[in-house]
Amino acid sequence: MKDIKKVAVLGASGNMGSLSGGIFAQNHIPVKFFARTLEKAEAGKKAAVSQSRSEIIGNYIECFSYDDLEKEIADCDWIFEGLAEDMGIKNEYFARVDKVRKSGSIVSTVSSGLSINAMAAERSDDFKAHFMGTHFYNPPGKLPANELIFADQVPDDLKQFVSEYCEKILRRVNIETHDTPAFAGNRIGFQLLNEAAIYAEKYGVEKIDYLLGPFTGRAMAPLATIDLVGLDVHKAIVDNVANKVKDERHETYLMPDYMKKMMEQGKLGLKTKAVGGFFFRSPEKEKFALDPASCQYIPLTGFKLDWVEAVKVNIYDGNYAKAVNSIATEKGEEADIIRHFLLGYISYSYHRIGEVTPESDHIHGIDRVMSSGFSWLPPSGWVELFGGPTTTIDLMNQANLPVPDSLKNEKTSDICQVRQFQRYLAGR
């Protein structure tokens, strides 16, 4: 296959289906949007146009219900599935697709962690040879990460074509991963998010999000991030990993009981604004934080630490070395918590080399997905900021965290290849 002339999107009424389909349309590729009803497909088209901020994009999108699926996908070169994260639903529609798709057409899923090979297991040989995961991150208009997970039967020339197409035409940042639960980004990101929720049971929601806020290298504090994602989505991801993987931090994937109680009460985060999540904003715009002990909301206390506020000022002023030195050397329980999470993030990421991403990609694939998919400072970037592998390992030992062999064998302090981080270093 040398060209993509027409694309079909299944699940076009959902956020991921509509916005991912919009990425194709933004590049002047005709796209067919499929949903349960024509009205839902039209709503997905509206979302795709809104993402692009250009009415012209709508000219590249046709809308259909699933009643038209068999008739309309026969001429499509790429069938992009963005249905609910449910193996049964996906298999139902893949069976329909397999009967009518043209030979050689690409079929991909935007699944964030279900097994690619399991989804293709009952399909035809040609389907298997053209099936893969193209996990775009949400929202794809702002987060360019694309985890590529190829079914075992996909030939190398097709892998190369899809990789180059996603990079050059769709302007995605590719990260090839193995077919493991949650792949790379969610495996690493949700480990930290769930552990933050575990710590909140002892230290409080407000305090944990303060200590792990944007100054620690992420666009949004972790519990606020779970509210954005939704506790239901969070649970699906961490449960999938906890049930299928046993690694050195397995216990940090076990969702605390108070979060299960939150879900029973309908407190899922921003998608349930009326009842809240970890945080709740009243009709009068007063903000509250959840009390994990009672699952009720309490007013924010305005908790702050002078040394953390000084770190924020140093970052704002560009005094990064001074800021990082404070994080590395400050005494006290709160500083220990911050280091535990930052060093744990590095440790967990380096331990995943070869497991979730190819050994040959070293830390760089994980760096790419955490920076372009989560908007987090990449793990090797933190190694550089802490002064290199030797200093980072010393800090890990002090924090009683497992030191990965891949970090012990790091030969240089100049590790991170993420362009944004390199530009930061150049101007430091």
User: pLDDT class for 222, splitting at 50, 70, 90?
Assistant: very high
Query: At residue 420, does pLDDT exceed 90?
Result: no
The structural domains of the chain, ordered by start, are 7-176 (3.40.50.720), 185-426 (1.10.1040.50)
- CB distance 18 to 12 below 8 Å: yes
Round to whole Å and give the CA distance between 186 and 67: 34
Query: At residue 426, does pLDDT exceed 70?
Result: no
- CB distance 159 to 167 below 8 Å: no
pLDDT digits (tens, 9 = 90+) for 225-246: 999 999 999 999 999 999 999 9
- Between strands 7-10 and 31-35, the pairing is parallel
pTM score, whole prediction: 0.93
Q: Does 139 sit behind a cis peptide bond, omega within 30 degrees of 0 on the bond before it?
A: yes
pLDDT digits (tens, 9 = 90+) for 62-102: 999 999 999 999 999 999 999 988 999 999 999 999 999 99
Would you state the pLDDT for residue 414? 82
- Between strands 279-281 and 287-291, the pairing is antiparallel
Query: At residue 1, does pLDDT exceed 90?
Result: no
Share of the chain above pLDDT 90, in %: 89
Round to whole Å and give the CA distance between 278 and 225: 10
Instruction: Give me the mean pLDDT over the 263-291 stretch.
Output: 95
- CB distance 406 to 392 below 8 Å: no
pLDDT digits (tens, 9 = 90+) for 27-76: 999 999 999 999 999 999 999 999 888 888 899 999 999 999 999 999 99
User: How far from chain centre, in Å, is Cα 392?
Assistant: 25
- CB distance 32 to 24 below 8 Å: no
Query: At residue 428, does pLDDT exceed 60?
Result: no
Would you state the pLDDT for residue 230? 95
Instruction: Give me the mean pLDDT over the 10-26 stretch.
Output: 94
Query: At residue 421, does pLDDT exceed 90?
Result: no
Would you state the pLDDT for residue 424? 65
Round to whole Å and give the CA distance between 53 and 62: 18
For residue 20, which amino acid is it? S
CA 108 vs CA 82, 198, 358: distances in Å: 9, 35, 20
CA 285 vs CA 204, 223, 273, 279, 290: distances in Å: 21, 19, 12, 12, 16
